[in-house]
Amino acid sequence: MPAGRPPDYRDEFVIQAQKLAHLGATDMEIADFFEVNVKTIYQWKHTHLEFGNALKVGKETADERVKRSLYMRAIGFEHDAVKVAFDKDGNPLYAPYREYVVPDTTAAIFWLKNRIPNEFRDRKELTGADGGPIAITARELTDEELIKITEVAGGHNVSS
């Protein structure tokens, strides 16, 4: 925690804060940059509209980059890369190539669970015909199964 009185708010903080947020900085990291307590950042967000909006815009940009990266990781992608080797004299040799990154199953699952949760959630509700309850009749069960169901139901009568 920085000691002493925090610096007075200045208009140039708006541009600096937006750039920091754009790069993915958290409120705590932004507070460290300005050498203030994070509570001061919260106060500046509420008392200086342009400062709060700058942080919001910067963070949205960073979040969009992460979303795009997660999507690309989920489907796979190609990018330019360079292999570096050294000759016998220690001079670098550069070999540009095109690298293919295979799709990542975990990224795809994460994406689908968050984008289409009703279709890709971990637990699904089981229902019978037309979304109603599952119909089980006593004649489909053995005596042992019927006893177990009765015990689970707390001894209540289970009728066919």
Domain boundaries, given as residue ranges, for the chain: 13-75, 78-115, 126-160
pLDDT at residue 60 in the model: 94
In the 3-class helix/strand/coil scheme, how is 91-104 assigned residue by residue?
CEEEEEEEEEECCC
Phi, psi values for residue 90, rounded to 5°: 85, 10
pLDDT at residue 124 in the model: 61
Question: Is 44 in a helix, a strand, or coil?
Answer: helix
pLDDT in tens, 64-115: 999 999 999 999 999 999 999 999 999 999 999 999 999 999 999 998 998 8
pLDDT in tens, 3-50: 556 568 999 999 999 999 999 999 999 999 999 999 999 999 999 999
Residue ranges with strand state E in the chain: 77-86, 92-101
pLDDT in tens, 112-138: 998 888 888 777 666 777 777 777 665
